[in-house]
Chain A
């Protein structure tokens, strides 16, 4: 009974996110300011339901609800929505929802298609509080990269308008290049230390569970690749000034690797991170 109610939370959260995305796309095509408020409202409704769902899952499972790919992507999406609100509140970009909510919807839909069943064999190691710290850090970091991805796309679109001198369409409604570049940079400087800490806590956690810090698990390797990419993004920016378009492209590539690390690795390789 409880599970059914909770599924209603989850499914209605998806519905709200989807409506928000569709509204977002419509706003992109022919938008008005009042409508971007509507997107935030819809996202907020979805978010509340989503939060309720995660809370119930926590109680149900008895540990941090991130032990299978369904829960993990749901929690990851939740982190993206949190950051979306933070950035929207801080910068009031207006169109951000049109770029972020579709990503949110896609992740939620993939989450809904993944098996909801909890793998009991993982139980002992999941009781460690390192687990919750590790996952929340990793997900917040990845969420920052997801936002950087959305902002990067916005940058590339706006850059194309300014460079090609066709100042029509979205040009007026998109934020300035500098604002977008700055937010992109801040998100990466937020995501990078979070990812670093996630890797460190992961290592500590592994040590407390197995007594060994590295397992050679593909997810570990790909996370390290992600870390390297973003380290490179920051390095190039600070030394040779790879900002603007190049930074935006790198943050898009970086996030594609994040997605691969998140889903792809689980589907292709087998390892203990591949929860199912």
Chain B
């Protein structure tokens, strides 16, 4: 069984491509179902965020599995394969593990060290568990990825000064406005990233906070949380006259703000500068608005530039993190190879043989003065008992059953076979800490 990663991210694909293949809302469930029903893909977890769309899969054959997943991607989103193919990366084996661990620990993020991706990965995993689209391998892998990410967060300083887009947004706002304490902040829409950025800006002391959301109750909720005022979603454009910093993140599939409207607004606010961050995918604010004087519009891709600044500072910590990942990939691979039948059968036999010899020794020492023939007869007896007993598990392991991975895993656990035993207890510890944190 092979672990496969197919995906695209902010480095390989522009926002135009990413918005086309994103699995938002009900699409996620549909896609999980499609993958689950395909014969090639045995397990799948889908991670779809503003910055990346990735499919983690367990496939029988790497080449045909990859081709199959790509085809599903292009068919489902109704985009020609040529259009997305050059943006897609395919990793298998060691590289796939390495990639997944890097994603989870935010080393592959636009803003290295940002903490949101881990939450998003957990959500993706929970969703897969709920849909039963993941299995033994991916479950183990996802749990491992989450624990690796946590380990990196505690053992390196990578997350220390990176609070993702929000951090970058505040830095940039300070380069436009200097003093945020006289500025008005307007949050349009909601979403984890938008709210995090909002919280960060508010912590940096903006004067007023406005909140507009399509769902009125949600606006009220957010306004209460941020100590701000609710603005009716239908009237939000007019309220922009007083807004200096705007974060927009709605689920709208089209622009909710166009150039003409902003021209008027700017006239009314006497060209007072505005900093607008559109973190929605697809974009909600017409990118041409950036051409208007004194408006600085950044979409999620543009935030990439802000990140570059911090890259150097963090590269050292990132190196440390990469080393941790390498070691963890090794551990996981060890476990994964142990899942193949042959070494399991060998260790099962070894174990049985060891037990047999040990017990035989004890018995023979007790029964002094036996004849050579008698000793041989006892040995033959123990031999055949042991062989007959382990015949059933070994032949089951040798068969090409669908659920062989599960079987191997179970056999290793039932008979307490070396490697798997150790990592299993480690795994249990991880899930305990998981629960504590959530």
Contacts and interface: CB of A to CB of B under 8 A. Distances in A.
Interface of A: 158, 162-163, 165-168, 171-172, 175-179, 240-246
B103 interface: no
B421 interface: no
A167 B304 CA distance: 10
Given A241-B271, A244-B293, A244-B294, A165 B175 contact: no
A178 B305 contact: no
Nearest to B271: A241
B176 A167 contact: no
Contacts of B175: 158, 162, 171, 176-177
A244 B271 contact: yes
Interface in B261-277: 267, 269-273
Nearest to B173: A176
Contacts of B172: 162, 167
B160 interface: no
Nearest to B178: A176
A175 B178 contact: yes
A178 B271 contact: no
A165 B302 contact: yes
Interface in B294-311: 294, 296, 298, 302, 305-306, 308-309
30 contacts: A162-B172, A162-B175, A162-B176, A162-B296, A163-B290, A165-B302, A168-B305, A168-B308, A168-B309, A175-B178, A176-B174, A176-B175, A176-B176, A176-B177, A177-B177, A177-B273, A178-B176, A178-B178, A178-B179, A179-B178, A240-B267, A240-B270, A241-B270, A241-B271, A241-B272, A243-B271, A244-B273, A244-B293, A245-B293, A246-B293
A259 B375 CA distance: 116
The 8 closest A-B pairs by CB, nearest first: A241-B270, A241-B271, A176-B178, A165-B302, A178-B178, A179-B178, A244-B294, A167-B305
A248 B112 CA distance: 36
B273 A165 contact: no
Nearest to B174: A176
A240 B308 CA distance: 37
B10 to A, nearest CB: 14
Interface residues of B, number: 23
Contacts of A172: 309
B388 to A, nearest CB: 72
B273 A178 contact: yes
Interface in B136-185: 172, 174-179
Contacts of B296: 162-163
Contact of B298 (A165, A166, A171, A244): A165
A165 B271 contact: no
A175 B270 CA distance: 23
A72 to B, nearest CB: 37
Contacts of B269: 241
Nearest to B176: A177
Given A176-B175, A240-B270, 19 more contacts: A158-B175, A162-B175, A162-B296, A163-B290, A163-B296, A167-B309, A171-B175, A176-B174, A176-B177, A177-B273, A178-B178, A240-B271, A241-B269, A241-B270, A241-B272, A243-B294, A244-B271, A244-B293, A245-B294
Nearest to A241: B270
Q: Which of B174, B176, B306 is packed against the most chain A CB atoms within 10 Å? A: B176
Interface in B202-261: none
Q: Which of A165, A175, A244 is packed against the most chain B CB atoms within 10 Å? A: A165
A162 B303 CA distance: 11
Nearest to B308: A168
B87 to A, nearest CB: 21
Nearest to A174: B175
Contacts of A175: 178
A37 B296 CA distance: 32
B305 A165 contact: yes
A151 to B, nearest CB: 14
A177 B244 CA distance: 13
A178 B267 CA distance: 18
A176 B178 CA distance: 5
Contacts of A158: 175
Contacts of B270: 240-241, 243
A245 B174 CA distance: 18
B276 to A, nearest CB: 12
Nearest to A179: B178
A166 B305 contact: yes
A241 B308 CA distance: 34
A127 B296 CA distance: 55
Given A162-B175, A242-B271, A167 B294 contact: no
A191 to B, nearest CB: 22
Contacts of A242: 271
A177 B179 CA distance: 11
A171 B305 CA distance: 11
Contacts of B179: 178
Nearest to B294: A244
Contacts of B305: 165-168
A207 B139 CA distance: 95
A165 B297 CA distance: 9
